Structure 1
């Protein structure tokens, strides 16, 4: 098991030495949360080398991913950088990348009644401009759990709300600061229920954010 105590505060700056080979040639994994070696609850970065493939596999409790670089593909289509996809519980696919890609993926974390499939591709302009200097792109919401992107063109304070049931952040671009600590791109942070961190985003910072999924 890795980082499966959800009452624990975690802040992991990106460290390229953490990459590990997967069972598939040319596919590398950077584990963040892991219940078991090849099954159960998993959160990770995954890198495909050009023409690498991962064999067909199932998602007993769903799969979701955000494409950070390159183009990720499966039998249903191609997903360029900036794509968000949810495959419902019980789905299956084989994965590959012609040019190579980097994705952020979460496996087997759907609620039992969350059966929806979602594909959000770049160019679908669904950003919401707020009053506090940042934009928000809603990705998914179900049962009090919300997933979105936050974009800070000029930097600014991370909104101090909605943390009562937990907070998880992946820094996609730029830098996120917590006091004297700085987290560059691909850093991952997780705050337990009840935490109210004071976070400051640098200029041109973009974050993947989830709230409401870590009840006390």
Structure 2
């Protein structure tokens, strides 16, 4: 597994881990949180194409207590999960566990009173998805997939199948192989993917056709997206 970087994060335009044909694995804690243009807002970049108006990005963004981000639009939409604290904008207050999709062209000025952290994906929402979507994952209907594996459907469309997966202690999957790009983000616990252990804040992306196994010794909650979410804007 490799991390590619055609331009450094200090330059205005960034190409960072955007080749979907290359397998990527970022272990939790191996990347620093770096400053953004907004005081008190830092991000850990997993992939990015573009400048501050990114044409594709996946990151963890951490807001200090009382911080905010200036009003901005999302030409390619936005998808996020609140990992900690309360993330707020004109649509409401979203506490830990909320999953949100903001459509193409949406605008907001996010802020937080107590501080928060989100896992966020930009410019990976199709233009024919016009509505906002909100889901409290703590109150949603999780389905039993198999022994020690429970799944919550976050979103499904022609270009993606996005789920949260709770793997109980001792879970081991069969071999998985998808025809589309497959992405994982570990929200909690430790997941063993293709015999490598990944703790929380780990992010992986596998090219289409990759064989994958998932297991856990003590349990884990993992975000999974099947499909590249590649949106041209």
Q: Same fold (TM over 0.5)?
A: yes
Moved more, 20-29 or 130-139: 130-139
Question: Does the 8 Å CA contact 1:80/1:122 hold for their aligned counterparts?
Answer: no
Question: Does the 8 Å CA contact 2:125/2:229 hold for their aligned counterparts?
Answer: no
Corresponding position of 2:101? 86
1:75–1:6 distance in 2 versus 1, CA, 3 Å = same
Distance 2:169 2:30 in 1: 28
Corresponding position of 2:76? 61
Task: Name the SS for the 2:50 alignment partner.
Answer: coil
Question: Does the 8 Å CA contact 2:76/2:122 hold for their aligned counterparts?
Answer: yes
Equivalences, count:
215
Corresponding position of 1:188? 203
* Structure 2: runs of 5 or more not aligned: 1-14
**Displacement over 6 Å in runs of 4+:** none
Q: TM-score, normalised by structure 2?
A: 0.87
**Is 2:189 aligned against 1:174?**
yes
Shift of 1:199: 2.5
Moved more, 179-188 or 156-165: 156-165
Distance 2:31 2:77 in 1: 29
* Structure 1: runs of 5 or more not aligned: none
Cα RMSD of the aligned pairs, angstroms, is 1.7
Distance 1:28 1:196 in 2: 34
Corresponding position of 1:204? 219
1:29-61 CA deviation, whole Å, 9 max, x = no partner?
Answer: 100110012121111000000000001100111
Distance 1:202 1:144 in 2: 32
1:125-168 CA deviation, whole Å, 9 max, x = no partner?
Answer: 31111223210011001114111100012241245446211110
